[in-house]
Amino acid sequence: MSRTPRAPYRPATQLVRGGQLRSPFSETAEALYLTSGFVYPDAETAEATFKGEVARFQYSRFGNPTVAMLEARLAALEGAEACRATATGMAAVHAALLSHLKAGDRVVASRALFGSCHWIVSTLLPRYGIESVFVDGPDLAQWKQALSRPTALVLLETPSNPMLEIVDLKAVCSLAHRAGAIVVVDNVFATPLLQRPLAFGADVVVYSATKHFDGQGRVLGGAVLGRRTWVEEVLQPFLRNTGPSLSPFNAWVILKGLETLHLRLPAMCRSAAAIADMLAEREEVARVLYPFRPDHPQQALAKKQMSAGGSLVTFEVKGGKEAAFRVMNALRLIDISNNLGDAKSLATHPATTTHMRVGPEERARLGITDGTIRLSVGLEDVDDLIEDLAQALDAAAPARAKPRRTAGVAEEISAPSAATAPTEAAPSLPPAPAPTPAPTPATEAAARPRKPARPRRRPPPEGDLFAG
């Protein structure tokens, strides 16, 4: 029994109710169908199913009831005709491109792409005889020149990862369609709650559901959304025969995560805006990038396309990689990780992680310096986050003692105490060494170097099942 909400329902309702399929047991929560296959009442039904004469589930690589609920919910939220879920966000990007392209085609992409997306366009597609052209996303003159020739596909992300560049969706879509291209937009930073690319003329939207959709760092997933004819005739055969299918369990987890997206994301956006303002006032910070700040070079365009500035803040620390590492290692609350969109705040150094393989020259063109830090703002109290960043910037200042991070705990290397500090008195001769006893098996074992125990980030609460 399907209870998919109709168009009048608002996003918060779609996130909770969209795509519901109830079994004859009438369960409240979405059912988790952990099954690889499905049975048929007779051989004739199996034959008709494979002929496409009967619509029913055949095999979980082709479709699954739990995955179908997720696809219907995302389509309703995005305002798309159809959706297909994939195992990861990169599987979604790869499928959207390779299902549509063939040898001899031409792709134009914004230069500011996630590292793996950049690799697909710059390295993988040319192996199959597909021409790839990069442009600076905010520069419409470059788009006009690149799209003055017939083109099969345009790929862009806005805001971009990690420098939060904004691409004029309406203008680029218009240019792309005149060149015969479909436009694929990676909307992971904005989510459908902050930006709806299809409304600006995009043809396909891709997501890493690993990020804000799950929102708690638990599972991987991806999604591709677009017109029903393209999804069913172009994308579906590719997915069916190449197999980047989403696990039903992961689909179920993401479904439950979506139920709180409309509560989580606005809170994260408010915190991100406050943190961006705080960082902009620090003398250790060279620049701050946040789409809705007045000093963002494309603030007006961001406000035209987005309803809020998002949960990501990018800032550059003065002093390059050494200074950036000192700041990150001094963080006590915020974790170092290459993920984003999590309930926990996460800091990333793009030049040495997510964009390491893009190369130094291309990073320089993208504006990714060795001092750049990408901050994914989570759901902690914003004052705690601001205090953590402030103490990290304080501790990392070159004039102060350098912090040492041990398994997540930032410890300040303090100067020697007065009791142990050397004096300026004339040095005295060292005492004569004590006689060394003959070694025994016990003393030899004790003298062997031991691997230091890994300290915990924080002591577990009393009675914690995972203590020890």
Q: In the chain, pLDDT over 70 holds for what percent of residues?
A: 84
Mean pLDDT over 144-151 rounds to 98
Contacts (Cβ under 8 Å, ≥6 apart) of 297: 138
Mean pLDDT of the chain: 88
Buried b (16+ CB within 10 A) or exposed e, 412-428: eeeeeeeeeeeeeeeee
Least confident of 182-191, 277-286, 439-448: 439-448
Give the Cα separation of 189 and 201 in Å (integer): 19
Please name the CATH architecture into which domain 11-259 falls.
3-Layer(aba) Sandwich (3.40)
- SS3 state at 144: helix
Per the model's pLDDT, the better-predicted residue between 169 and 396 turns out to be 169
CATH fold label, 262-412: Aspartate Aminotransferase, domain 1 (3.90.1150)
Q: pLDDT at position 281, please?
A: 98
Per-residue pLDDT at 184 exceeds 60? yes
Give the Cα separation of 99 and 129 in Å (integer): 15
- Cβ atoms of residues 162 and 368 within 8 Å: yes
Report CA torsion sign: 98, 99, 100, 101. Answer: positive
Largest CA distance in the chain: 101
Q: pLDDT at position 186, please?
A: 98
Q: pLDDT at position 356, please?
A: 87
Q: What is the pTM of this model?
A: 0.84
Distances (CA, A) of 428 to 111, 431, 434: 66, 9, 18
Q: In the chain, pLDDT over 90 holds for what percent of residues?
A: 80
Please write the tens of the pLDDT for every residue from 425-439.
Answer: 333 444 444 444 444
Q: pLDDT at position 2, please?
A: 55
Contacts (Cβ under 8 Å, ≥6 apart) of 277: 293
Domain locations along the chain:
11-259, 262-412
Q: pLDDT at position 395, please?
A: 87
Residue 361, Cβ density class (10 Å: 0-12 exposed, 13-18 middle, ≥19 buried)? exposed
